Amino acid sequence: MMDPVQAFMQAHALATPLFAPTSRYHGIGSAQTTTPEGTVITFVKRRFVPPPERFSTLSEHTVASGDRLDNLAAHYLGDPLQYWRLCDANGAMDPTELTATVGRVLRITLPEGIPGDSDAG
Q: Write the pLDDT tens digit of every residue in 8-58.
A: 556 655 556 677 777 787 888 888 999 999 999 998 898 888 888 889 999
Asked if the structure places residue 25 within a domain, the reply is yes
Residues in the chain, total? 121
> Of 30 and 6, which is predicted with more confidence?
30
Answer yes or no: do 39 and 61 share one domain: no
Asked if the structure places residue 11 within a domain, the reply is yes
Answer yes or no: do 40 and 59 share one domain: no
Asked if the structure places residue 61 within a domain, the reply is yes
Radius of gyration of the chain (CA): 19
Answer yes or no: do 83 and 35 share one domain: no
Answer yes or no: do 70 and 103 share one domain: yes
Asked if the structure places residue 80 within a domain, the reply is yes
Number of domains in the chain: 2
Q: What is the model's pLDDT at position 106?
A: 97
Asked if the structure places residue 94 within a domain, the reply is yes
- Domain of residue 77 covers 52-109
Domain harbouring 95, CATH code? 3.10.350
Asked if the structure places residue 118 within a domain, the reply is no
Does the pLDDT of residue 86 top 80, yes or no? yes
Answer yes or no: do 58 and 94 share one domain: yes
> By three-state DSSP, how is residue 15 classified?
helix
Neighbours of 60 (CB within 10 A): 11
d(CA 89, CA 55): 6
* Buried/exposed code over 92-103 (b: 16+ C-beta within 10 A; e: otherwise): beebeebbeeee
* pTM of structure: 0.69
